[in-house]
């Protein structure tokens, strides 16, 4: 069951946590060895039992007893975890096992009282563990029939068998998508003709209930009417393996069941289908493909010279969609319905008049908002409310949709989709990470970086064999994206690695939040409703945050607090939150002051994640920050903190530091040597990200310290202009060279961002690396007032995939372009300038580039010659006066998938580009970016404010774009594209 997920995750981590803790303190283990071993064993058994419980159906007479047992072991696992963390703090200054005898003895005497309390706590926990074990044997074994239970689907699915998406007789808002998919099926290949040696496969991908099956069925039926494909088959792949699917295709093609052997191998079945299809033109639709076995069935579909057959695959998995589509195939990404179409569909299914009256609009608005444009959610909720006139029933459904999904059989088809999406995730801790998204409000963009850092701080992520905790976290995020459970926003790339922000589908969020709140995982407070007992993860949303009064004494077990919007002052009594691990207050900028930060640092000694982003009233990091020895992430971007106390650099657990800092004045000599010596010890500093530091003639210390941070992988530096700049820049150049040369592992991406406030010094970074490209930096951003040539080291970097050059006046000489052309693996290039003159990209130039972004106020000429940019997929020309580049030139870009323009271009320019897009063989998507978002890209050059877009988050990665269909249509539809194009689901309206 889903409610067991978090408990299993916490219980599973307790045993290794105890082991690691006591291995470092063997002197303490001797006192408690038997109790600790017993608790470790019990926690491992609890974790295994809970995981096993999720696959069993419980007898009704034991269900309540089982649920009570789950609550007991949940609290036990949390309390063990809390006990360990509390004691870690109490002896945080304890000597390690190999310390001298005198130091160990002194500490022994000093901590007698603390050790006594810990011993008593461990004994009590053991007793509770024993009691939980006995209760399970006594009361809950009935749930399993003494070991004779069998695995079943999760009870939340109401035992709904997998079935096609619910169809509606009158689909709304799908005309444009239908025409676009028809065009892809009929259309030519990328070179303007269908290659004779390849099969064209089109994959339709999107979240369950978004309308993939219905869209495919409408297209399939239309093609039947047109009699274009003599051989046709429609099969569902859900719950089928490759052999079953191939047999189903044979049956659809008219083969008698008596001729199909159940024991036939894949090879034999493929050969049989090939023979039956012969030289006919065929259309095969494989609906709802959930497992990746395309390689096992692809040989069933013959490639016949001169015959352009099609295979259409629908799936929720992006990897399946991409693998199924051939090199000349397409991946078509479904989009949710726009607001108007959502309301129209809902009204039609609920038998309401459309356009609705004011009363009906008010009545239905909350339910429609929760459905978030997902057709199946709109249809099922509308049918549930059909004929219902009582306003309180509508309000109840809108306010408690998650509960109704679980309990109302009329919503079973939607609930079944949600449950299958959830249970289909590969590992328990990934499900926990997904449940955690209930913290965020509906429609709220979630930044990938902060989410992953929060997962880590919460303890949901641990390193695995040959994979670091960070790699595991990224893999978890990618699986959620791949499953279409969360959808990327503000991206302009088919690669999941480019996803910088995401959202959870509204109906999925309702489902997750209800389950989380029922099992006391995530808690939301509304108005004056008192919190439940033992709140551990608390999220205050805009509207409720300001009015919710919290008595800190009522939440002594609070581990995580996130506030979206204003909060009542009672929240800020931080002296009571002794168990807090995660504190995110980045939207409390009006209330947060220096005194509050001092309270945080003085009391929240277990804190692992602290974000005060945008709290402009905070001006100083207090000396008490040294108490936060477990802190992993400190984010003070947008505050007025400009001096970083050296105590922060000495936080042993700190991994990620965000802000815009200088070191204190006067640090040098003995203090600097002491800090350097501390950093030199490998086990001391874990800093991976420093973004970033200000370096000038009076503050050069960071350049000295940077060389000692051996684990640093991401650095951002602002260089201030001074009269003696050459002196400090030479030291900084040496530090940067050392940072680069430490990057010898190609699997560990490094990022470097340099912002020169003033003219770019010609001697700055004028160094070379070894001729062998064994120094790896994946992302590089250089910003200043001018540039005449690339620093020599740039072309010598191994693994450089992203390069951003931002200057007030950028004149790209042939030397710079030639240097860029020598970077063999460059995938993304961004050029940001106020003026750009006569840019010529010659034949064969930038052969590996996938994305080119040019952000400029004035451009006098841009020429892309035939044969240049052969692999370019995304072209972004963000210039209001785009008069120096003809849209017809995009015809020489054979792999182009999307074009992004400034919304301020003239209507004539828009019309010209629409025509060029329509005539391009790949029909790339045309997007328009609003003026405000383009202007934001020039802020780094105009002010000293730190841009919040990292080198990896350039171009439209952080933009809201409007989708512009080539043809006039009633909806945004799905894009004309042949790869996974991931763009915002709702166009910007202005």
Of residues 840, 843, 803, 855, the one with CA closest to residue 825: 803
- Residue 614 backbone zone (phi > 0: left; psi -120 to 50: alpha; other: beta): left
Exposed / middle / buried, residue 52 (Cβ in 10 Å: 0-12, 13-18, 19+) = middle
Euclidean distance between CA atoms 857 and 882, whole angstroms: 9
Q: What is the pLDDT of residue 510?
A: 95
- In 10 A of CB 558, how many CB atoms? 24
Dihedral Cα 534, 539, 540, 541, nearest 10 deg: -150
549 Cβ contact partners less than 8 Å away, ≥ 6 residues apart: 528, 568, 570
Q: What is the pLDDT of residue 166?
A: 58
Q: What is the pLDDT of residue 54?
A: 55
Q: What is the pLDDT of residue 62?
A: 53
Percent of the chain beyond pLDDT 90? 37
| Contact criterion met (CB below 8 Å) for 927 and 899 | yes
Per-residue CA distances from 87 to 95, 124, 388, 605, 882 (Å): 14, 15, 57, 11, 64
Q: What is the pLDDT of residue 161?
A: 45
Helices (DSSP H) in 253-293: which residue ranges? Answer: 266-277
257 Cβ contact partners less than 8 Å away, ≥ 6 residues apart: 251
- Does the structure show a pLDDT above 70 at 189? no
Q: Which residue has the higher pLDDT, 940 or 569?
A: 569
Give the three-class secondary structure for 622: coil
Lowest-pLDDT range of 44-48, 60-64, 79-83, 469-473: 60-64
Per-residue CA distances from 152 to 52, 160, 368 (Å): 11, 12, 33
Q: What is the pLDDT of residue 155?
A: 43
Euclidean distance between CA atoms 319 and 641, whole angstroms: 44
Q: Which residue has the higher pLDDT, 823 or 46?
A: 823
Lowest-pLDDT range of 71-85, 304-318, 686-700, 932-946: 932-946
Report the topology of domain 426-521. Answer: Arc Repressor Mutant, subunit A (1.10.10)
Asked whether the domain spanning 426-521 has the same topology as the one spanning 175-333, the reply is no
pLDDT tens-place string over residues 844-899: 889 999 999 999 888 888 888 899 999 999 999 998 888 667 776 888 998 888 89
Using CA of residue 193, residue 196, residue 198, residue 203, what is the dihedral sign?
Answer: positive
Q: What is the pLDDT of residue 422?
A: 93
pLDDT tens-place string over residues 85-143: 777 666 555 444 455 667 666 766 777 777 778 788 888 888 888 888 888 777 665 54
pLDDT tens-place string over residues 928-950: 887 666 555 444 444 333 333 33
Q: Which helix (H) or strand (E) holds 310?
A: strand 310-315
Q: What is the pLDDT of residue 852?
A: 94
Cis ω before 621 (30° cut-off from 0): no
Could you write out the three-class secondary structure of 930-953? CHHHHHHCCHHHHCCCCCCCCHHH
pLDDT tens-place string over residues 767-798: 877 656 678 899 999 988 776 778 888 888 88
CA-based R_g, the chain, Å = 30
Q: What is the pLDDT of residue 926?
A: 86
- Does the structure show a pLDDT above 80 at 575? yes
Task: Give me the residue spans of the domains in the chain.
Answer: 4-152, 175-333, 339-416, 426-521
- Distance from chain centroid for Cα 802: 20
Q: How confident is the model at residue 643 (pLDDT cuts 50, 70, 90)?
A: very high
Q: How confident is the model at residue 529 (pLDDT cuts 50, 70, 90)?
A: low
| Contact criterion met (CB below 8 Å) for 121 and 28 | no
Structure tokens belonging to residue 540: 């205050």
Of residues 229, 232, 236, 223, the one with CA closest to residue 252: 232
Q: What is the pLDDT of residue 253?
A: 92
Q: How confident is the model at residue 764 (pLDDT cuts 50, 70, 90)?
A: confident
**CATH for the stretch 175-333:** 3.40.50.300
Q: Given the DSSP bridges, would you call strands 898-902 and 828-836 parallel, antiparallel or unpaired? A: unpaired
């Amino acid at each position: 069951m889903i409610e067991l997920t978090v408990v299993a995750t916490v219980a599973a981590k307790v045993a290794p946590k105890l082991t690691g803790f006591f291995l470092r303190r063997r002197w303490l283990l001797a006192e408690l060895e038997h109790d600790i071993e017993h608790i470790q064993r019990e926690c491992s058994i609890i974790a295994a039992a809970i995981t096993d419980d999720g696959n069993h159906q419980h007898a009704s007479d034991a269900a309540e007893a089982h649920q009570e047992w789950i609550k007991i072991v949940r609290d036990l696992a949390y309390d063990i975890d809390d006990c360990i963390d509390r004691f870690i703090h109490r002896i945080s200054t304890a000597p390690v096992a190999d310390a001298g005898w005198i130091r160990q003895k002194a500490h022994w005497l000093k901590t007698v009282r603390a050790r006594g309390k810990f011993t008593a706590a461990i004994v009590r926990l053991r007793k509770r563990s024993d009691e939980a074990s006995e209760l399970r044997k006594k009361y809950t074994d009935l749930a399993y029939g003494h070991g004779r239970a069998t695995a079943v689907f999760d009870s939340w699915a109401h035992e709904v068998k997998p079935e096609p998406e619910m169809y509606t007789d009158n689909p709304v808002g799908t005309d444009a998508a239908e025409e676009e998919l028809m065009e892809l099926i009929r259309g030519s290949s990328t070179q303007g003709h269908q290659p004779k040696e390849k099969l064209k496969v089109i994959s339709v991908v999107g979240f369950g209930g978004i309308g993939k099956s219905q869209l495919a069925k409408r297209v399939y039926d239309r093609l039947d009417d047109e009699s274009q494909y003599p051989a046709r088959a429609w099969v569902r792949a859900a719950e089928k393996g490759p052999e079953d699917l191939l047999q189903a295709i044979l049956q659809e093609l008219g083969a008698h069941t008596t001729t199909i052997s159940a024991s036939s191998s894949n090879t034999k079945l493929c050969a049989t289908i090939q023979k039956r299809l012969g030289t006919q033109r065929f259309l095969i639709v494989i609906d709802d493909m959930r497992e990746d076995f395309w390689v096992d069935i692809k040989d069933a579909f013959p490639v016949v010279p001169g015959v352009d057959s099609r295979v259409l695959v629908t799936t929720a998995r992006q990897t399946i969609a991409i693998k199924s589509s051939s090199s000349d195939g397409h991946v078509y990404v479904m989009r949710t319905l726009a607001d108007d179409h959502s309301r129209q569909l809902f009204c039609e299914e609920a038998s309401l008049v459309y356009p609705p009256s004011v009363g009906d609009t008010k009545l239905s608005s909350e339910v429609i908002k929760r459905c978030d444009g997902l057709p199946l959610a709109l249809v099922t909720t509308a049918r549930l409310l059909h004929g219902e006139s009582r306003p309180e029933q509508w309000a109840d459904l809108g306010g408690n949709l998650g509960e109704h999904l679980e309990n109302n059989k009329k919503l079973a088809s939607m609930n079944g989709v949600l449950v299958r999406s959830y249970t289909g995730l590969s590992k328990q801790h990934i499900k926990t990470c997904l449940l955690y998204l209930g913290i965020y409000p509906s429609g709220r963009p979630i930044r990938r970086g902060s989410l992953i850092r929060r997962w880590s701080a919460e303890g949901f992520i641990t390193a695995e064999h040959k994979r670091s905790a960070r790699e595991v976290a990224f893999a978890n995020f990618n699986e959620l994206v791949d499953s279409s459970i969360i959808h990327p926003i503000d991206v302009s790339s088919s690669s999941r690695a480019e996803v910088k922000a995401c959202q959870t589908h509204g109906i999925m969020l309702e489902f997750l939040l209800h389950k989380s709140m029922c099992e006391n995982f995530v808690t939301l407070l509304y108005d004056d409703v008192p919190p439940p007992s033992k709140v551990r993860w608390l999220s205050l949303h805009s509207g409720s945050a300001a009015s919710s009064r919290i008595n800190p004494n009522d939440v002594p077990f609070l581990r995580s607090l996130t506030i979206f919007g204003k909060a009542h002052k009672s929240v800020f009594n931080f002296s009571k939150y002794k168990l807090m691990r995660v504190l995110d207050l980045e939207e409390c900028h009006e209330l947060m002051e220096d005194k509050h930060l001092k309270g945080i640092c003085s009391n929240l000694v277990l804190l692992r994640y602290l974000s005060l982003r945008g709290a402009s009233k905070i001006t100083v990091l207090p000396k008490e920050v040294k108490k936060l020895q477990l802190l992993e992430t400190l984010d003070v971007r947008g505050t007025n903190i400009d001096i970083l106390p050296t105590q922060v650099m000495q936080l042993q657990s700190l991994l990620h530091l965000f802000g815009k800092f200088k070191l204190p004045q006067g640090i040098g000599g003995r203090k600097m040597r002491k800090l350097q010596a501390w950093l030199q010890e490998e086990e001391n500093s874990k800093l991976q990200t420093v973004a970033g530091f200000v370096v000038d003639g009076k503050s050069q210390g960071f350049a000295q310290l940077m060389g000692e941070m051996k684990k640093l992988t991401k650095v951002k530096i602002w260089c201030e202009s001074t009269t003696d700049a050459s002196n400090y820049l030479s030291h900084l150049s040496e530090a940067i060279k050392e940072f680069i040369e430490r990057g010898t592992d190609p699997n560990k991406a490094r990022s470097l961002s340099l912002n020169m406030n003033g003219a770019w010094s010609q001697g700055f970074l004028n160094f070379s690396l070894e001729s062998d490209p064994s120094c790896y930096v994946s992302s590089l951003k250089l910003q200043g007032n001018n540039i005449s040539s690339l620093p020599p080291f740039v072309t010598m970097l191994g693994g450089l995939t992203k390069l951003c050059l931002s200057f007030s006046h950028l004149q790209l000489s042939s030397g710079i372009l030639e240097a860029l052309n020598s970077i063999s693996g460059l995938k993304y290039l961004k050029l940001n300038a106020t003026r750009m003159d006569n840019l010529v990209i010659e034949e064969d130039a930038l052969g590996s580039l996938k994305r080119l972004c040019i952000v400029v106020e004035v451009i006098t000429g841009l020429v892309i010659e035939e044969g240049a940019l052969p692999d370019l997929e995304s072209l972004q020309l963000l210039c209001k006066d785009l008069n120096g580049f003809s849209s017809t030139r995009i015809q020489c870009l054979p792999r182009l998938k999307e074009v992004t323009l400034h919304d301020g271009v003239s209507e004539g320019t828009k019309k010209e580009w629409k025509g060029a897009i329509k005539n391009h063989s790949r029909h790339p998507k045309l997007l328009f970016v609003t003026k405000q978002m383009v202007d934001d890209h020039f802020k780094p050059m105009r002010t000293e404010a730190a841009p919040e877009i990292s080198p990896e988050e350039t171009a439209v990665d952080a933009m809201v774009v409007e989708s512009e269909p080539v043809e006039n249509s009633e909806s945004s539809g799905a894009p004309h594209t042949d790869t996974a194009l991931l763009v915002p689901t709702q166009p910007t309206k202005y």
